Each structure stands twice: as C-alpha cells, then as structure tokens.
Structure 1
Amino acid sequence: MNRYQADVPDGLSRRARSFVRVHGLRVGSLAVEDYRSEWLERGIPSAEIDRVAAFGERWGGLALPPSPRYNGGPRFFTPDTPETDPSGGWWFEAGEQRASVPYGFMIGPDGEFGVHADRWVPLHATVEGWVESLSLTYHARLWAKSITKLVHDEVETIDLTGYVEVPEVVGLADSWWRGPDSLVAIYRGEAECLAFPAARTAYIYSGLDDWGLHG
C-alpha cells in the first residue's frame, strides 16, 4: 500500500469503504498524547481527552474529496483542543475548513459531526454518517441520468412519499432519501447554523437503476 493511501475504518458500508479506499489519503494529524498532560493541567477531563484520542486514532489525517456543501467541508480530519460550550458538554474540532466559512466543523458531546458558529448544529449522528453522505454524493453523481438542485423554500416542496431515509447516513440536519428510481440529498445544516433559511439546499438524483440506488 502507498504510504499515503488511506486505510479504511471499519463500520462503513461497502460503498463508503470503496470510496475511502479509492479517493482517500492519509496525511499528518495532531498527536493527541503529546498534549495530554497540558490539557489535564488546563482542567480538561481525562474522558474528553480519551475521546479526542480515539477520534485521532480512527480518523486523524484522513483526507476525502470535497462535499458539494459547506465549501467542501474539512480539508482532512484532525482534532484539536476540546472546548466547552455555554450549553454544556465538550466539543472538539474535526478538521480545518477548505475555505473561509463562518463556522467550524466539530465533533459534538455525543460523537455527532456538525457545524458550530453562534449555535451548534449536528449534521450527522456520527462521523461515519458524514463519510457515508460524501460517498453517496459521488456515487449518485456518477449514475444519475439527471440532477436537479433546489434552494430555499423549494426544498420544502419535495414530496418524499414512497421514499425511505438512507440509514447509514444517520442524518440529523442533513439527510438522504431513497425512492423508486432516485436519491434525494437535503442539506439544512448551514441554514440552521447561520439562521439563514435561503441556504437550504437539496439535490435530486433521478433515473437511477438498482445499482445506482444501492451501490
């Protein structure tokens, strides 16, 4: 294996494993244990440091292709110093932005992947959910016969009757839905984080056969 080729974390779908194997790279990441003593002296609980260390071990240094939203998402996964929020709990950075955006990509108190500015908005219940969403994006773009983009209030007009939510995405603010011959991706996280409803966006990937739907 090329030393920069990404190893594939377990717990991903077959499609996502293939996506990471083909498109992912491993680069440098924060060595959490080098900071443990300093963080303990600053009052950061040992359990929170353990959580950051586990994230770094599993995901640290993993660089994936950009997301169609959030100006591409993190450049690569790398944690940073845990911090508290007035609402309680501990967060830590998931990775630096690819471009200038008014929020950070964070891992929440319960392991959620989300965006944080003046408010915290979890996008997916797990980091795996973000990776699954990315893999679905590239899969759907490859196999769809047509792609329709909807924005702002248009997003609320989508009729999801007969659709089922894609479970591996574990969507919260963002979600994917599978229908008879199409996939629908709905992104509400940026709109909720910035209190900017116009940022709501959806993509409808139509004309998919069984392989295109399921991969």
Structure 2
Amino acid sequence: MAGWIETYALADAAQRMLRVEAWKGRGATNRTRALISALPGLTAVPEVEGLADNWWQSDGALLALYEGEAKVFRSEEATFAALYAETKQRAEELRVTLHSIDP
C-alpha cells in the first residue's frame, strides 16, 4: 500500500503535462533503461519504487513505467511507459534526447 497515494498524485500531475512519447511491451522497459542513463538529473521517486509502478523525475520531466499488470499476468506486452514534459520547450529537448538514443 505504501506509495499508492504518491503514484496517483504523479499520474494526476502527468495528465496535466505534455506526453512526449509512450511505449508498450518489451520496448517500454528497454526505453526506460536507456532514458534513465541518457537524461541527466533523472532520479527515482523513492515513495513509489516498487513492483507495480516506478517513476523518475527531473527538471520539468516525468518518466513512468507501469509493470504491475505485466508481472501479475506474466506478459511483457502489458508493460507501459511514458515520458512527460512540463513545457513545450522541455518536450522538444526530450525529443532530441530520444532521437539521440534511438538504435
């Protein structure tokens, strides 16, 4: 139960932000790992680190990884990740970073 309220607060905040990109399935986990390495200052939100959801934040950005359903049903295809930005300028900066780490 720990982190449940924080997760909903982060999800609510993300709904008011610009969605930069979203991924599903195996690509969601891989992209999340790449972004954690590529975005300076991206830090885990410790209150929500857990089996179901994980969130990272940095200046003007949120990164979410939803894995709970995937773990329960043992289906990587249920994994979902999304990157959000507070402003259009930050969204463009994040898109540049995404393009730089594309395989």
TM-score norm. by structure 1 comes to: 0.35
Letter of the aligned partner of 1:145 in structure 2? L
8 A Cα contact 2:19 2:82, kept in partner: no
Q: Which runs of 5+ in 1 are unaligned?
A: 1-126, 209-215
Q: 1:206 to 1:188 in 2, by over 3 A?
A: same
2:24 counterpart of 1:151: yes
8 A Cα contact 1:152 1:200, kept in partner: yes
Q: 1:173 to 1:136 in 2, by over 3 A?
A: same
Between Structure 1 and Structure 2, the one with more helix by share is 2
Structure number with larger C-alpha Rg: 1
2:12 counterpart of 1:138: yes
Cα displacement (A) at 1:198: 0.5
8 A Cα contact 1:164 1:177, kept in partner: yes
Cα displacement (A) at 1:195: 1.0
Q: Which has the higher contact order (CA 8 A, sep 6+)?
A: 2
Cα displacement (A) at 1:141: 1.2
Residue 176 (structure 1) aligns with? 55
- Tell me the number of residue pairs that the alignment of Structure 1 and Structure 2 aligns: 81
Letter of the aligned partner of 2:85 in structure 1? S
Cα displacement (A) at 1:134: 0.7
Residue 71 (structure 2) aligns with? 192
Cα displacement (A) at 1:147: 4.3
8 A Cα contact 2:53 2:67, kept in partner: yes
2:3 counterpart of 1:129: yes
Measure, in 2, the Cα distance between the counterparts of 1:145 and 1:191: 25
Cα displacement (A) at 1:204: 1.0
Matched ranges for 1:1-215 at <5 A:
127-142=1-16, 144-155=17-28, 156-158=30-32, 159-161=35-37, 162=40, 163-208=42-87
Determine what percentage of the aligned residue pairs are the same residue: 30
The CA RMSD over aligned residues, in Å, is: 1.7
